[in-house]
């Protein structure tokens, strides 16, 4: 059918090349066929012919995201939203685009506007499938969760499940909203769905939801068994290789050896960025929120901008992993230009405060290059007890298709990955002494003000009392820690691993043999 539509559109354009709808449909078809760059060019034609059509611009910014061009996508999305789009799919897509580029308040505006239309004019839902509407409610719920509006998020998630009871990603999101209790939990509903999972991804989401609620009720061994069941099929699909990961880390250390940092190189002198890195679930969001309370600091979120600019500078194809050969090629480029391109790519979201935070945990892999390209940037790395780090990573439901985190489908692979991470951080400390300020999560929890003052001093910022009042703020937090950071600092996550008993003894033995415990 799409082929026929495409042929009709081409026939129309042969007669009238200014027919914007035909260009638009051709662009949509090109995107459907995976020809994203071609789709962007074609959709650009439709926008040029009819610049006031928000649907055209929205489809364009959607494909710009796929093409890894977030700055252009944000620009087009802001214009599209200003054109007051009425179509529910357009508002939903705009919300997704805004979320992707870190503009969570704008994303929520899109979802709220669409929800208001559904409430006031229910007939607007006619022609939209139950699956589409359920996914819309899920997107709305996620946006509300980022904003800390947890009761409203729960309502949105339940609306999604009313339409699609087996939309398993909703169940895992819903279970994370609050601690479950014996009087109020979803375990009966969740367990009834065990026989209805049809894909590894379904099983992953359901198993994580069950594990979270079992853990809340104190059933740690059952929770661990549910996590293992959750990840079993997805681990087979992912086919993660620790050996390949080890070669990758080793390649980074070889490229960024001591000699690289002893060779004089000119970088970009901009001192705005504060990079917060570390393994996931180690307190990176907590430190981000403490710093973000400062009047001179803006939290820009988990920016992909530095690896994106690196790929562009090295003319490298998109990949979740930046091959060490690409990194070595980058050393021969103009590093000052790379740093400046990174700063420019963060505008206009940044630049209105003297400092901004880039909290992409995986940037720990690129600290050497960041140091060379932006020698005045501040580098902060979070450290947490190895057992708690590995267990927290195993317990986390990361983005399913994101390859760098696929180690978390197996508990021992989490341990092996931690060892690689630790080796690399030790390498950075040896080759760039004093460049990376390491923060102990346990020390921060035990004495928040003392450690926070040290952090501010390292960042060259005067102390401000409101930095520790992050739980009172209304800003959105788009990480797995969105719920936790709305609370005051707590200590019950420290030594969490000890509650799991013998079920995680193999991890302890692995880390003990590597010298982390005695």
Domain termination site, one of 191, 215, 239: 239
Per-position DSSP letters for 153-189, written without gaps between them? HHHHHHHHHHH-TT-HHHHHHHHTSS---SSS--HHH
414-462 tens-digit pLDDT: 999 999 999 999 999 999 999 999 999 999 999 999 999 999 999 999 9
Q: What is the pLDDT of residue 202?
A: 97
- Contact (Cβ atoms closer than 8 angstroms) between residue 147 and residue 103: no
* Residue 270's CATH number: 3.40.50.300
C-alpha to C-alpha distances, 201 to 84, 100, 129, 154, 474, nearest whole angstrom: 36, 21, 22, 22, 32
Domain termination site, one of 189, 220, 239: 239
In a domain, 58, yes or no: no
In a domain, 216, yes or no: yes
- Does 233 share its domain with 345? no
3-state secondary structure of 502: helix
In a domain, 158, yes or no: no
Domain termination site, one of 205, 239, 273: 239
Q: What is the pLDDT of residue 24?
A: 95
- Does 461 share its domain with 312? yes
- Does 231 share its domain with 202? yes
Count of residues for the chain?
Answer: 518
- Does 315 share its domain with 385? yes
- Does 230 share its domain with 251? no
CA distance 31 to 61: 12
In a domain, 62, yes or no: no
Axis crossing angle, helix 220-238 with helix 200-216, rounded to the nearest 10? 160
Question: Which residue intervals of 266-407 are DSSP H helices?
Answer: 284-292, 305-314, 324-330, 335-345, 367-373, 386-395
Pairing verdict, β 436-440 and 273-277? unpaired
- Does 231 share its domain with 248? no
Q: Which residues of the chain have pLDDT under 70?
A: 318-321, 471-488, 490
CA distance 284 to 383: 9
In a domain, 476, yes or no: yes
Q: What is the pLDDT of residue 329?
A: 86
- Contact (Cβ atoms closer than 8 angstroms) between residue 384 and residue 282: yes
- Contact (Cβ atoms closer than 8 angstroms) between residue 112 and residue 141: no
Q: What is the pLDDT of residue 87?
A: 93
CA distance 505 to 502: 5
In a domain, 4, yes or no: no
Q: Angle at CA 24, nearest 5°, toward 52 and 126?
A: 80
3-state secondary structure 434-451: CCEEEEEHHHHHHCHHHH
- Does 358 share its domain with 486? yes
Q: Which domain holds residue 180?
A: 165-239
- Does 278 share its domain with 170? no
Pairing verdict, β 273-277 and 297-299? unpaired
3-state secondary structure 44-79: HHHHHHCCCCHHHHHHHHHHHHHCCCHHHHHHHHHH
Q: What is the pLDDT of residue 477?
A: 53
- Does 249 share its domain with 270? yes
Question: Which residue intervals of 67-129 are DSSP H helices?
Answer: 70-82, 88-100, 104-120
- At residue 383, φ and ψ (nearest 5 deg) are -125, 140
Q: What is the pLDDT of residue 479?
A: 56
Name the pTM for this structure. 0.90
In a domain, 479, yes or no: yes
- Does 302 share its domain with 358? yes
CA distance 467 to 449: 9
- Contact (Cβ atoms closer than 8 angstroms) between residue 270 and residue 343: yes
- Does 256 share its domain with 197? no
- Contact (Cβ atoms closer than 8 angstroms) between residue 278 and residue 385: no
127-153 tens-digit pLDDT: 899 999 999 999 999 999 999 999 999
In a domain, 227, yes or no: yes
- Does 235 share its domain with 269? no
Q: What total of structural domains would you count in the chain?
A: 2
């Amino acid at each position: 059918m799409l082929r026929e539509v495409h042929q009709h559109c081409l026939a129309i354009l042969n007669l009238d090349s200014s027919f914007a709808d035909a260009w638009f449909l051709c662009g949509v078809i090109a995107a459907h066929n995976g020809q994203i760059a071609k789709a962007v060019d074609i959709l650009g034609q439709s926008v040029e012919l009819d610049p006031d059509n928000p649907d055209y611009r929205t489809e364009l910014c959607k494909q710009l995201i796929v093409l890894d061009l977030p700055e252009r996508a944000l620009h087009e999305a802001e214009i599209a939203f200003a054109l007051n789009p009425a179509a529910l799919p357009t508002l939903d897509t705009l919300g997704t685009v805004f979320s992707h580029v870190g503009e969570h308040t704008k994303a929520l505006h899109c979802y709220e506007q669409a929800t208001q239309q559904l409430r006031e004019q229910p007939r607007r839902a006619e022609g939209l499938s139950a699956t589409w509407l359920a996914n819309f409610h899920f997107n709305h719920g996620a946006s509300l969760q980022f904003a800390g509006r947890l009761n409203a998020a729960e309502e949105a998630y339940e609306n999604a499940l009313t339409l699609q009871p087996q939309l398993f990603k909703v169940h895992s999101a819903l279970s994370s909203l609050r601690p479950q209790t014996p009087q109020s939990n979803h375990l009966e509903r969740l367990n009834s769905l065990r026989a209805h999972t049809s894909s590894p991804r379904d099983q992953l989401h359901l198993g994580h939801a069950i594990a979270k609620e079992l853990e809340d009720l104190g059933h740690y061994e059952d929770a661990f068994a549910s996590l293992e069941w959750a990840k079993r099929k997805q681990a087979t699909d992912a086919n993660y290789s620790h050996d390949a990961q080890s070669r990758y880390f080793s390649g980074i250390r070889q490229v960024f050896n001591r000699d690289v940092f002893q060779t004089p190189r000119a970088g970009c002198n901009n001192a705005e960025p504060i990079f917060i890195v570390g393994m996931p679930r180690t307190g990176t969001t907590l430190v981000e929120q403490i710093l973000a309370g400062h009047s001179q600091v803006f939290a820009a979120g988990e920016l992909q901008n530095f690896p994106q600019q690196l790929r562009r500078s090295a003319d490298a194809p998109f990949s979740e992993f930046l091959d060490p050969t690409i990194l070595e090629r980058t050393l021969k480029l103009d590093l000052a230009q790379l740093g400046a391109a990174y700063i420019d790519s963060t505008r206009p979201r940044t630049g209105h405060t003297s400092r901004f935070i880039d909290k992409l945990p995986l940037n720990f892999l690129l600290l050497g290059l960041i140091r060379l390209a932006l020698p005045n940037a501040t580098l902060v790395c979070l450290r947490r007890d190895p057992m708690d780090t590995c267990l927290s990573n195993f317990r986390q439901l990361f983005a399913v298709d994101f390859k760098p985190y696929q180690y978390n489908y197996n508990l021992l692979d989490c341990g092996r990955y931690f060892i690689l991470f630790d080796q690399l951080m030790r390498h950075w400390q040896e080759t760039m002494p004093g460049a990376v300020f390491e923060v102990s999560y346990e020390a921060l929890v035990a004495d928040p003000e003392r450690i926070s003052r040290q952090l501010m001093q390292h960042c060259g910022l005067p102390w401000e009392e409101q930095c520790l009042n992050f739980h009172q703020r209304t800003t959105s937090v788009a990480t797995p820690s969105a719920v936790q950071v709305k609370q005051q600092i707590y200590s019950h996550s420290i030594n969490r691993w000890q509650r799991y008993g013998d079920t995680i003894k193999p991890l302890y033995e692995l880390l003990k043999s590597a010298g982390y415990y005695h």
